[in-house]
Amino acid sequence: MFVLVNLKTYPCDPVAVAEAVRDVNESTDARVAVAPQAAHLERVAETGAETWAQHVDPIDYGSNTGHTLAESVAEAGAVGTLINHSEQRLKLADVDGAVEAAERAGLETVVCANNPAQIGAAAALGPDAVAVEPPELIGTGTPVSQADPDIVEDAVEAAQAVDADVSVLCGAGISTGDDVVAAGDLGSEGVLLASGVAKADDPTAALEDLVAPL
């Protein structure tokens, strides 16, 4: 089970969360990683935690002021990147370009989408994984596996119908170990979460709770 913690722009200590991710990852069979802001990638990667970017742009070296270059993300220590998160949406052609840019830089990719139909379209672009996240549930504490489990099952079916090698993750409202288990029971191979760890008083305890049932 893959647990990817997105720190968004929450006012947390990214290094402290990364150290918690590193320590918990070493004590569980689950794979635990963290996605800090771009400015914090290098510091987070230096902790030894598996580090992901929150976004890369569909660009190459050149005149791209204000954009995020996949190669720079990789050089900072990231091993993968989210693409098309609901808070950083892209046009389909740009999702395709971002996946290509990430692959060019040797980054693993998770393309986010809102529903099963979009999951099928995203899977056709050849990412390593896709993640279904209904935006209305993000940050609510109500997991998608509880609010609408059919979305997860349908997303798994949609991705497998296009490319059986693309893994399916789910997110939105994930905050407990029971939520992670429920996601797995529905066919998900991992979860995305943010506030459940990034806003926790004790990130280590929050992560330990997430992986304890696995």
Give catalytic residues, as residue numbers: 85, 133
Is 174 part of any known ligand binding site?
no
Is 64 part of any known ligand binding site?
no
Rounded to the nearest 5 percent, the helix, strand and coil shares of the chain are 40, 15, 40
Distance separating alpha carbons of residues 52 and 107, to the nearest angstrom: 9
**Contacts of residue 153, Cβ cutoff 8 Å, sequence gap at least 6:** 186, 187
Is 6 part of any known ligand binding site?
yes
Distance separating alpha carbons of residues 180 and 65, to the nearest angstrom: 39
Is 77 part of any known ligand binding site?
no
Is 27 part of any known ligand binding site?
no
Is 194 part of any known ligand binding site?
yes
Is 91 part of any known ligand binding site?
no
- Look at residues 198, 106, 190, 196 and name the one whose alpha carbon lies nearest to residue 152: 190
Distance separating alpha carbons of residues 79 and 158, to the nearest angstrom: 26
Annotated binding site for substrate: 6-8, 138, 173, 194-195
